[in-house]
């Protein structure tokens, strides 16, 4: 069996060796200890001795070739004519898979101010195509703009090293243009390309260089409380709430101070039941719904009430309609008009019984009457109780309901707004 002549590993961190010169020719007799070739690595050149007696055959790499460590570069056989065994590809050929053609390297250009990568939108040339210096080679997208990039050299596309849709780091070679038409043009993707020539022809793909993240966004410390809807609670309190099907958001609504600990779960359990869906609802999201209706209904009703029933305060009427929509026995409603807020207590029964509430009473609902303001649309975010806002909408009226997710289940908000809009449109019918 012929002895394999191998590119030796000589340096501490060496992956390839450059053959400087062969001291023996193919077919020449060699004996153990004779200098076979010279190799350069780690800035040193050294002579490598034959490790077997015989004849040098099948020299697969010549002077000037860079060969991976461990690669077979020749054989020492028993006869000068020892035919090369049917080893498929000689090592340098295998190496060529990793090596790139020599030529003009096209790099991913830096186009933006703070750009780390560029995304290749499309290649305008295929491997092997002839290309002129000013021909558009590819399109690149960066910083939200797309631009065409010229080849920059005349010749042939010998290698495309990234595929359309891939982001290549700025400055990386993404194509090679050679003067001569290439025999075997290379086409690779960034994802599949080895980062550097592998130390040995192991098929294991080297880790691809992932495009560096555009910019490391400094991580903000979590906001101290509430502003982002996050509830501060200990891991144990969260676990207990989860196990018992309790919603910590209800503690928030109840105004119980954060952070919550296991002991606060007892407080949570003692809170009165509200809408059964509350526990299931997404506690943090706020809700907003808008209804549109003609405005004549309420205007006519207000006129009639003032003339016929002696109810001259339209604010009380609004409070009454809103409270009725809440389906609650007695409700406190705050009616806000620009510059003035009035709190009403709305008992069951006729509107005549509606009267201003005591100072400091907590409203169950706010009604913001902006029909006569310039405001046409509101999105003020949830407040602690549901808010109904009236705005003009063309000739008609828009009613916007906003409330915290924990305050009303989704279905309940729809009911509330539908009820209120209905009453505003046809107040008398609902009163009857």
Partner 1 sequence: MSDTKHNTEDYLRMYRQMVRIRTFEDNANQLYLSAKMPGLTHMYSGEEAVAVGICEALTDSDRITSTHRGHGHCVAKGAEFKAMFCELLGKEEGYCRGKGGSMHIADQSHGNLGANAIVGGSMGIATGSALRAKLQGAEDVTVCFFGDGATAQGLMYEVMNMAALWNLPVIYACENNGYSEYTKTEEIAAGSITARAEAFGIEAHQVDGQDVLGVNALMQDLVPRARKGEGPFFVELMTYRYHGHHVGDINREYYRAKDEEQDWKENRDPIIRMRAWLVEQGIASEDEIEAMNSEIREDAAAAVDYALKAPYPDTREVDMHVYTDIAHACA
Partner 2 sequence: MREITLSKAVNEALAEEMRRDETVFIIGEDVAEAGTPFKVLSGLVEEFGTDRVLDTPISEPGFMGIAVGAAMTGARPVVDLMFGDFLFLIMDQLCNQAAKSYYMSGGKLNVPLVLRTNLGATRRSAAQHSQSLHALVAHIPGLKVAMPSSAYEAKGLMKTAIRDDNPVVIFEDKLMYNDKAPVPEEEFLIPFGQANIKREGRDVTLIGTSSMVQVCEAAAETLAAEGISAEVIDPRTIVPLDEATLLASAKKTSRVIVVDEGHQSFGVTGEIASRINEKAFYHLDAPVLRMGAMDVPVPFSPALEDITVPTPEGVAEAARRLMSGEMIHAA
Nearest residue (CB) to partner 1, 12 versus 114? 12
Shortest distance in whole angstroms from residue 250 CB to partner 2? 19
How far is the C-alpha of 11 from the C-alpha of 74, rounded, in Å? 21
- Strand pairing category for 340-346 and 355-356: antiparallel
Options 26, 34, 51, 129; binder of partner 1; rule CB under 8 A: 51
- Binding residue for partner 2, selected from 213, 218, 235, 272, defined by CB under 8 A: 235
- Helix, strand, or coil here: 384? coil
Pattern of binders to partner 2 over 242-271, x per CB under 8 A? -----------------x-xx---------
Secondary structure of 285-350 in HEC code, one letter for each residue = CEEEEEEEECCHHHHHHHHHHHHHHCCCCHHHHHHHHHHHHCCCCCEEEEEEECCEEEEEEECCCC
CB-hemisphere CA count at 13 Å for 370? 18
Of 28, 34, 35, 70, which lies in the binding site for partner 1, with binding defined by CB under 8 A?
Answer: 70
Contacts with partner 2 by CB under 8 A: the residue count is 10
Give the one residue of 20, 46, 206, 254 binding partner 1; rule: CB under 8 A: 46
CB contact at 8 A, 194 and 98: yes
Calculate the alpha carbon distances from 414 to 330, 332, 334, 409, 410 in Å: 21, 20, 21, 9, 7
Nearest residue (CB) to partner 1, 199 versus 294: 199
Give the count of residues interacting with partner 1 (CB under 8 A). 18
For residue 236, state whether it binds partner 2 (rule: CB under 8 A): yes
Q: In terms of CB distance, is 50 or 237 closer to partner 1?
A: 50
Q: Is 237 in the site for partner 2 (CB under 8 A)?
A: yes
- Select 58 or 369, whichever has its Cβ closest to partner 1: 58
Residue 358's alpha-carbon distances to 255, 312, 324, 351, 355, in angstroms, are: 21, 20, 20, 18, 9
Question: Site residues for partner 1, window 164-223 (CB under 8 A)?
Answer: 199-200
**In whole angstroms, how close is the CB of 403 to partner 2 at the nearest point?**
29
Residue 278 CB, shortest distance to partner 1, in Å, is: 45
Nearest to 211 by CA among 229, 193, 227: 193
Q: Could you say which of partner 2, partner 1, none residue 232 binds, taking C-beta under 5 to 8 angstroms by partner kind?
A: partner 2
Chain residues in the site for partner 1 (CB under 8 A): 4, 6, 8-12, 14, 41-44, 46, 51, 69-70, 199-200
């Amino acid at each position: 069996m012929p002895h394999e002549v191998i590119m030796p590993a000589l340096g501490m961190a060496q992956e390839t060796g450059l053959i400087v010169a062969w001291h023996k020719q193919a077919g020449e007799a060699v004996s153990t200890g004779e200098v076979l070739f010279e190799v350069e690595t780690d800035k040193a050149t050294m002579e490598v001795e034959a490790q077997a007696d015989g004849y040098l055959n099948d020299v697969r790499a010549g002077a000037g070739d860079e060969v991976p460590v461990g690669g077979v570069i020749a054989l020492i056989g028993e006869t000068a004519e020892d035919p090369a065994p049917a080893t498929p590809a000689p090592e340098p050929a295998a190496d060529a898979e990793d090596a790139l053609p020599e030529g003009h390297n096209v790099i991913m250009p830096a186009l933006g101010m703070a750009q780390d990568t560029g995304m290749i939108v499309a290649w305008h040339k295929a491997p092997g195509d002839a290309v002129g210096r000013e021909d558009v080679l590819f399109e690149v997208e960066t910083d939200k703009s797309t631009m065409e990039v010229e080849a920059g050299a005349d010749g042939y596309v010998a290698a495309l090293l990234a595929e359309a849709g891939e982001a290549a780091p700025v400055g990386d070679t993404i194509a090679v243009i050679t003067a001569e038409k290439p025999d075997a043009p290379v086409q690779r993707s960034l994802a599949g390309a080895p980062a550097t020539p592998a130390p040995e022809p192991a098929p294991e793909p080297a880790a691809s260089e992932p495009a560096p993240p555009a910019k490391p966004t400094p991580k903000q410390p979590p906001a101290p409380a509430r502003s982002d809807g996050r509830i501060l609670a200990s891991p144990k309190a969260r676990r207990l709430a989860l196990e018992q099907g309790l919603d910590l958001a209800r503690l928030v609504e109840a105004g119980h101070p954060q952070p919550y600990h296991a002991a606060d779960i007892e407080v949570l359990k003692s809170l009165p039941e509200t809408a059964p869906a509350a526990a299931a609802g997404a506690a943090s999201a706020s809700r907003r719904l808008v209804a549109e209706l003609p405005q004549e209904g309420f205007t006519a009703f207000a006129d009639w009430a003032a003339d016929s029933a002696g109810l001259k305060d339209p604010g009380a009427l609004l409070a009454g309609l809103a409270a009725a929509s809440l389906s609650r026995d007695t409700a406190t409603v705050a009616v806000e008009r620009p510059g003035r807020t009035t709190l009403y207590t709305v008992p069951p029964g006729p509107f005549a019984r509606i009267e201003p509430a005591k100072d400091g009473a907590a409203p169950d609902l706010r009604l913001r009457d902006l029909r006569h303001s310039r405001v046409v649309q509101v999105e003020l975010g949830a407040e602690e109780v549901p808010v109904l806002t009236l705005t003009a909408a063309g000739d008609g009226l828009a009613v916007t309901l906003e409330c915290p997710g924990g305050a009303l289940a989704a279905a309940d908000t729809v009911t509330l707004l539908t009820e209120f809009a209905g009453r505003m449109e046809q107040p008398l019918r609902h009163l009857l």
